[in-house]
Amino acid sequence: MAGLTRTAGAFAVTPHKISVCILLQIYAPSAQMSLPFPFSSVSQHNRLGLYLLSLTKSCDDIFEPKLEELINQLRDVGEEMDAWLTDHLTNRFSSLASPDDLLNFFNDMRGILGSPDSGVVQDDQIILDPNSNLGMFVRRCILAFNLLSFEGVCHLFSSIEDYCKEAHSSSAQFDGSNNDLESLTHYDQMDMEIYAIDKATEELELQKNASGSVPFHLHTPEAIFKVIEGITSGLRVSPKESSRTRKKITEATLVSSASSSTVEDTLVDESLFLRTNLQIQGFLMEQADAIETHRSSSSFSSSSIESFLEQLQNLAPELHRVHFLRYLNKLHSDDYFAALDNLLRYFDYSAGTEGFDLVAPSADCSMYGRYEIGLLCLGMMHFRFGHPNLALEVLTEAVRVSQQLSNDTCLAYTLAAMSNLLSEMGIASASSVLGSSYSPVTSTASSLSVQQRVYILLKESLRRADSLKLRRLVASNHLAMAKFELMHVQRPLLSFGPKASMRHKTCPVSVCKEIRLGAHLISDFSSESSTMTVDGSLSSAWLKDLQKPWGPPVVSQDSGSRKSSTFFKLCDHSVSIPGSVSQLIGASYLLRATSWEFYGSAPMARMNTLVYATLFGDSSSSSDAELAYLKLIQHLALYKGHKDAFAALKIAEEKFLTVSKSKILLLKLQLLHERALHCGNLKLAQRMCNELGGLASTAMGVDMELKVEASLREARILLAAKQYSQAANVGHSLFCTCHKFNLQIEKASVLLLLAEIHKKSGNSVLGLPYALASISFCQSFNLDLLRASATLTLAELWLGLGSNHAKRALDLLHGAFPMILGHGGLELRARAYIFEANCYLSDPSFSVSTDSDTVLDSLRQASDELESLEYHELAAEASYLMAMVYDKLGRVEEREEAASLFKKHIIALENPQDVEQNMA
Amino acid sequence: MVSKESCRNEIRAAIRQLSDRCLYSAAKWAGEQLVGIEQDPSNFTPSNTRFQRGSSSIRRRFSTNESISTPQPSVGFSQAATPLPEEDETIDGDLYLLAKSYFDCREYRRASHVLRDQTSKKSVFLHFYALYLAGEKRKEEEMIELEGPLGKSNAINRELVSLERDLSALRRTGAIDSFGLYLYGVVLKEKGNETLAIASLVESVNSYPWNWSAWSELQSLCTSIETLDRLNLNNHWMKDFFLGYAYQELRMHTESLAKYDYLQGIFSFSNYIQAQTAKAQYSLREFDQVEIMFEELLRNDPYRVEDMDLYSNVLYAKEACAALSYLAHKVFLTDKYRPESCCIIGNYYSLKGQHEKAVMYFRRALKLNKKYLSAWTLMGHEYVEMKNTPAAIDAYRRAVDINPSDYRAWYGLGQAYEMMGMPFYALHYFRKSIFFLPNDSRLWIAMAKCYQTEQLYMLEEAIKCYKRAVNCTDTEGIALNQLAKLHQKLGRNEEAAYYFEKDLERMDAEGLEGPNMFEALVFLATHFKNHKKFEEAEVYCTRLLDYSGPEKEKAKSLLRGIRMAQTGFPSMDLEHFPI
Local confidence band at B151 (pLDDT 50, 70, 90 cut-offs):
low
Residues A532 and A357 sit within 8 Å (Cβ to Cβ) = yes
A742/A744 Cα distance (integer angstroms): 6
Is the Cβ–Cβ distance between B389 and A369 less than 8 Å?
A: yes
> Which of B424, B430, B432, B455 would you mutate first to test chain A, the one with the most A CBs within 10 A?
B424
Mean per-residue pLDDT, B313-341: 90
Task: Flag the least confident range among A202-211, A531-540, A635-644, B479-488.
Answer: A202-211
**B274 contact partners, CB below 8 Å, separation of at least 6:** B293, B296, B297
Decide which of A465 and A552 is more confident.
A465
| Most confident segment among A188-197, B75-84, B105-114 | B105-114
- Collect all residues from B whose CB is shorter than 8 A from any CB in A: 145-146, 148-156, 158, 161-162, 168, 172, 192-193, 196, 389-391, 393-394, 396-397, 401, 413, 417, 420-425, 428, 455-457
Q: Per-residue confidence at B129, pLDDT binned at 50, 70, 90? A: very high
Question: Is A542's pLDDT higher than 50?
Answer: no
Going from the C-alpha of A13 to that of each of A152, A273, A284, A318, B76, the distances in angstroms are 10, 9, 22, 21, 70
CA distance B324 to B305: 14
Contacts of A581 (CB under 8 A, 6+ apart): A472, A521, A522, A525
* Percentage of the residues of chain B whose pLDDT score is greater than 70: 86
**Quick check: A55 pLDDT over 60?**
yes
Chain segment B64-82, per-residue pLDDT in tens: 444 433 344 443 344 445 5
Cβ(B292)–Cβ(B62) below 8 Å = yes
Residue by residue, DSSP assigns A650-682 as HHHHHHTSSS--HHHHHHHHHHHHHHHHHHT-H
Q: Do A155 and B425 touch (CB under 8 A)?
A: no
Sign of CA dihedral B286, B292, B293, B294: positive
The DSSP secondary structure of A759-784, one letter per residue, reads HHTT-HHHHHHHHHHHHHHHHHHT-H
pLDDT of residue B48 exceeding 50, the answer is no
Rounded to an integer, the average pLDDT of A371-393 is 83
- Judged by average pLDDT, the poorest of A49-58, A820-829, B82-91, B557-566 is B82-91
**pLDDT at position A502 over 60:** no
> In this complex, do B146 and A274 lie within 8 Å of one another by their Cβ atoms?
yes
Which residues in chain B have their CB less than 8 angstroms from residue A279's CB? none
Interface-testing mutation among B150, B171, B398, with chain A (most A C-beta atoms within 10 A): B150
State whether B425 and A209 contact (CB < 8 Å).
no
pLDDT at A28 over 50: yes
Report the distance separating Cα A634 and Cα A631, nearest Å. 5
Predicted local distance difference test score (pLDDT) of residue B291: 92
Residue A491 has pLDDT above 70, yes or no: no
Distance from CA of A5 to the nearest CA of B (A): 9
CB A840 within 8 A of CB A846: yes
Give CA angle at A160 (A155, A165), nearest 5°. 130
Statement: residue A201 has pLDDT above 80 = no
DSSP structure string for A204-240: HHHHHHHTT---TTTT--HHHHHHHHHHHHHHHH-TT
CB B240 within 8 A of CB B7: no
Side-chain-side CA neighbours of B167 within 13 Å: the count stands at 28
Query: Which residue(s) pair with A113 in the sheet?
Result: A128
- Distance, in Å, from the CA atom of B434 to the CA atom of A599, rounded to the nearest integer, reads 56
Per-residue confidence band for A828, with pLDDT thresholds at 50, 70 and 90: confident
Q: Which residue has the higher pLDDT, A217 or A162?
A: A162
- pLDDT tens for A104-121 read 888 888 877 776 555 555
Rounded to an integer, what distance in angstroms lies between the CA atom of residue A47 and that of residue A904? 76
The minimal CB distance from A369 to the residues B389, B401, B455 is found for B389
- Give the whole-angstrom CA distance, residue A717 versus residue A673: 9
Q: Is the pLDDT of residue A532 over 60?
A: no
Label residue A536 by pLDDT band (50, 70, 90).
very low
Long-range contacts of B318-325 (CB under 8 A, 24+ apart): B318/B287, B318/B291, B319/B351, B321/B348, B321/B351, B321/B352, B324/B348, B324/B351
Per-residue confidence band for A555, with pLDDT thresholds at 50, 70 and 90: very low
Q: Do A277 and B156 touch (CB under 8 A)?
A: no
Closest CB to B151 among A317, A344, A369: A317
List CB contacts (< 8 A) between A400 and chain B.
421, 455
What's the confidence (pLDDT) of residue B5? 82
Q: Reduced to 3 states, what is the DSSP secondary structure of residue A702? A: strand
pLDDT of residue B243: 92
pLDDT at B50: 43
Q: What is the pLDDT of residue A354?
A: 58
- Cβ(A495)–Cβ(A502) under 8 Å? yes
How high is the mean pLDDT of chain A?
69
- Residue A395 banded pLDDT, cuts 50, 70, 90: confident
- Segment A246-269 mean pLDDT: 32
Chain A nearest CA to B370, separation (Å): 13
Task: With cut-offs at 50, 70 and 90, classify the pLDDT of residue A605.
Answer: confident
Please name the member of B394, B422, B424 whose beta carbon is closest to the beta carbon of A348: B394
pLDDT category at A701 given cuts 50, 70, 90 is low
**SS3 letters for A101-133?**
HHHHHHHHHHHHECCCCCCCCCCCCCCECCCCH
- Which among A393, A383, A317, A311 is positioned nearest to A350, based on CA atoms? A317
B397/chain A closest Cα distance in angstroms: 6
What distance in Å separates residue A786's CA from the closest CA in chain B?
48
Task: Provide the β-strand partners of residue B16.
Answer: none
**Residue of A422, A400, A423, A424 whose CA lies nearest to A411:** A400
Whether the pLDDT of residue A495 is over 70: the answer is: no
Please tell me the predicted confidence (pLDDT) of residue B159. Answer: 86
- Using pLDDT thresholds of 50, 70 and 90, give the confidence band for residue B57: very low
The mean pLDDT of A220-227, rounded to a whole number, is: 30
SS3 (DSSP) at A628: helix
Cβ A874 vs Cβ A834: under 8 Å = yes
Give me the total of CB pairs closer than 8 Å, taking one residue from chain A and one from chain B. 114
Average pLDDT over residues B446-453: 89
pLDDT, position B343: 92
Lowest mean pLDDT among A283-297, B204-218, B223-237, B463-477: A283-297
Range from B130-134, B458-462, B570-574 carrying the lowest mean pLDDT: B570-574
Of B150, B158, B391, the CB nearest to A212: B158
- Provide the pLDDT confidence category of residue A231 given band limits of 50, 70 and 90: very low
Q: What are phi and psi of A798, to 5 degrees?
A: -60, -45
State the pLDDT at residue A619: 67
Please give the backbone phi and psi of residue A701, each rounded to the nearest 5 degrees, phi first. Answer: 150, 180
* Higher-confidence position of A298 and A272: A298
Q: Do B421 and A280 touch (CB under 8 A)?
A: no
Q: Tell me what percent of the residues of chain A surpass a pLDDT of 90.
A: 0
Examine the pLDDT at B397 and tell me if it is beyond 50: yes
At residue B109, the pLDDT reads: 92
Whole-number pLDDT of residue B253: 87
Mean residue pLDDT of chain B comes to 83
Q: Residue A84, exposed/middle/buried by CB under 10 A (0-12, 13-18, 19+)?
A: middle
- Residue B461's identity, in one-letter code, is E
Which among B152, B156, B166, B183 is positioned nearest to A208, based on CA atoms?
Answer: B156
Asked if pLDDT for residue B491 goes beyond 60, the answer is yes
Residues on chain B touching A159 (C-beta within 8 angstroms): none
pLDDT at A258: 31
Q: Which residue of A has its CA nearest to B194?
A: A188
Cβ contact A214–B423 (<8 Å):
no
- Percent of chain A at pLDDT exceeding 70: 64
Residue A911 vs residue B238, higher pLDDT: B238
Structure confidence at residue A435 (pLDDT): 39
CA-based nearest residue to A761, from A726, A807, A802: A726
* pLDDT score of A665 more than 60: yes
Nearest to A371 among B401, B420, B455 (CB): B420
Q: Is the pLDDT of residue B328 over 80?
A: yes
Whether the pLDDT of residue A533 is over 60: the answer is no
Set of chain B residues whose Cβ sits within 8 Å of the Cβ of A206:
161-162
